[in-house]
Amino acid sequence: MSLTHFHPWSMRRGNEVWDPFMETGFSDRDMEMWNNKSQLWKPCVDVTENANGMMIHCELPGVKKDAINLDVADGRLTISGERTQEKKEEGEKFHRVERSYGKFQRTFAVPENCKTSDISAKFADGVLDICIPKPEKKEKPQKISIQ
C-alpha cells in the first residue's frame, strides 16, 4: 500500500486535481507544466491554409516585437521568446494571478521544397501572422514501360 499526500482543499477526480475554490480541474500534465518554471506557457496558435499557402496566427499579448524570435532550420519553423512579468508595486496584494509569464517556444513543420526566403511575418496588436507560401509543385511521376 502506498501513501498519498492529502490536501484538504483539493480533491481528485480520476487523473485530475480539482480545487473547489477555483472551480477548475487541472490534469496531471497541467500540474507538471505549472511546476516547471522554465516554460510556463505556450501561446495559442491557429494554422490555416488557402490557395497561396499556410498561415500561422500566434497570440502573443503583452510581448514586445523585439522579444520574439523566428528561426527556420531542418524543415522546422520555431517561434520563441519571452513574456516578462510586470513589476509589482509595494503594498499590492494579489488575490489571483492567472496570466502566465516566462519563455515560450512553438515549432511547426515547413512543407518540403518551400523557399524559406519567401516566408514572411508581421506583428500587430499582439498577434503574430506568419505566411508560409506553398512550395512549387513537383512533376508528377511518369510511368516508364519496360521493354
Q: Do 24 and 58 reside in the same domain of the chain?
A: no
Range name among 26-30, 58-62, 112-116, 131-135 with the lowest pLDDT average: 26-30
* Residue pLDDT, tens place only, 61-83: 989 999 999 999 988 999 999 98
Alpha helices in 5-140 (DSSP H): 28-35
Minimum mean pLDDT range among 58-62, 74-78, 122-126, 136-140:
136-140
Tell me, what CATH number does 63's domain have? 2.60.40.790
Q: Which pLDDT belongs to residue 90?
A: 75
103 beta partners: 82
Report the domain count for the chain.
Answer: 2
Confidence class for position 113, pLDDT limits 50, 70, 90: confident
Domain carrying residue 2: 1-36
pTM of the model: 0.64
Examine the domain organization and report whether 62 and 116 are in the same domain.
yes
Examine the pLDDT at 14 and tell me if it is beyond 60. no
| Residues 70 and 131 placed together within one structural domain of the fold | yes
The candidate with the shortest Cα–Cα distance to 58, out of 85, 40, 78, is 78
Spatial strand order in the sheet of 53-59:
45-49, 53-59, 127-133, 120-124
User: Which residue's entry shows cell 521568446?
Assistant: 81
17 and 73 together in one domain: no
In this structure, the strands spanning 76-83 and 16-19 are unpaired
Same domain, 29 and 59: no
Cell numbers for 93: 496584494
Q: What is the bridge-based pairing of β-strands 68-73 and 45-49?
A: unpaired
5 and 31 housed in the same domain: yes
